[in-house]
Chain A
């Protein structure tokens, strides 16, 4: 077992392990939205499956934290953007009318 520092705490990890393995072991709630730093460098999402961790590595998981969106302001913004509300998730739009996909992008 190797010792890593994960979010500031010591953690015993069986090597070899990739960033993706560590995400799984830590039961990260929304793995497709976590930002990961290894030794204080951000890791590209496409490297999560391949980047091998080493003894003593410092790993930080960073999570999105928003706040309390109020319904009224959402409706207001939608009105100004001219976006029609449909069920479920939808794609974003830029003001210039181009469709802008937020779904396929990475979230590192």
Chain B
């Protein structure tokens, strides 16, 4: 009933050996459709591990081109990829890792007018973006569409992540609205240790595979934070709140919003 070829059985043998995964789990991974938003520091390790794991369809959203300064952490792109579209560069790497994966590329940025259309095609969404307007947009689109997603954020030596499935705490349960543009520094202003992106991205990839296979307990109603300087990891229990502007009892956010970015200070 599972029509894996000899080559696939060999390729995925270390998954199949896992009692919790097995051939059935591998089949669920192969049937999985995962959307990775952002082919940057977080999206790179996520997409690469999901490709290696044999996720059947991987969608990648990014409207940017590869810059030399990306290569310090965005390991899905290599030096010859500079100036290529990130989605094209990412697709090439994914195909090289695992030609069985179907890659859908969206050479655009997620906005209020395209988010629901893109998100609705997928089983699970990974937030690999780097800015608050899109993080809130992903949250809102996924809550509205009833899609599970993994949230991730990194800065300097720290990272935080949680997983949302319908009915559990969302980003707005924790943070009602985005910070004012420019109020919270981003990596391009404050910097980030490249390997931190890998630490957080692989956690997000693991959550995705756990969701697809149904193995273990997801980071739902938990915010995992870590500081790589001390290697302190902490799980904070969080609850879905009735006062949440989108998933609460009287939602005030009823349509998707393109919040403004903090751009001006970067234009100098």
Contact with B along A69-106 (1 / 0, CB 8 A): 11111111110110101111111111100001011011
A3 to B144, CA, bound (A): 42
A10 on the interface (CB 8 Å rule)? no
B176 A108 Cβ-Cβ under 8 A: yes
Chain B positions within 8 Å of A91 at CB level? 260
B27 on the interface (CB 8 Å rule)? no
Which B residue's beta carbon lies closest to that of A103? B180
Picked from A63, A65, A87, A107, the residue with its CB within 8 Å of the CB of B154 is A65
Chain B positions within 8 Å of A107 at CB level? 175-177, 179
- Smallest beta-carbon distance B174→chain A, Å: 6
Tell me the count of chain B residues lying within 8 A, CB to CB, of chain A.
63
Which A residue's beta carbon lies closest to that of B260? A92
Chain A positions within 8 Å of B180 at CB level? 89, 102-103
Which A residue's beta carbon lies closest to that of B183? A33
B111 on the interface (CB 8 Å rule)? yes
B188 A78 Cβ-Cβ under 8 A: no
- Smallest beta-carbon distance B20→chain A, Å: 29
Tell me the count of chain A residues lying within 8 A, CB to CB, of chain B.
49
- Smallest beta-carbon distance A31→chain B, Å: 12
Chain A positions within 8 Å of B112 at CB level? 95
A70 B70 Cβ-Cβ under 8 A: yes
Please tell me which stretch of A12-20, A34-42, A49-57 contacts chain B, meaning at least 4 of its Cβ atoms lie within 8 angstroms of it. Answer: A34-42
Picked from A35, A66, A78, A108, the residue with its CB within 8 Å of the CB of B184 is A66
B262 on the interface (CB 8 Å rule)? yes
B195 on the interface (CB 8 Å rule)? no
A102 to B253, CA, bound (A): 14
A90 B179 Cβ-Cβ under 8 A: no
Given contacts A65-B159, A85-B267, is CB(A72)–CB(B64) below 8 Å?
Answer: yes
Picked from A40, A86, A94, A106, the residue with its CB within 8 Å of the CB of B237 is A40
Which residues does A use to contact B, with CB under 8 Å? 7-8, 30, 33, 35, 37, 40-42, 44, 60, 62-78, 80-81, 83, 85-95, 100, 102-103, 105-108
Extra pairs beyond A62-B238, A77-B261, A102-B177 (10, CB < 8 Å): A35-B174, A40-B239, A41-B241, A64-B179, A67-B131, A67-B154, A68-B154, A69-B261, A71-B267, A74-B262
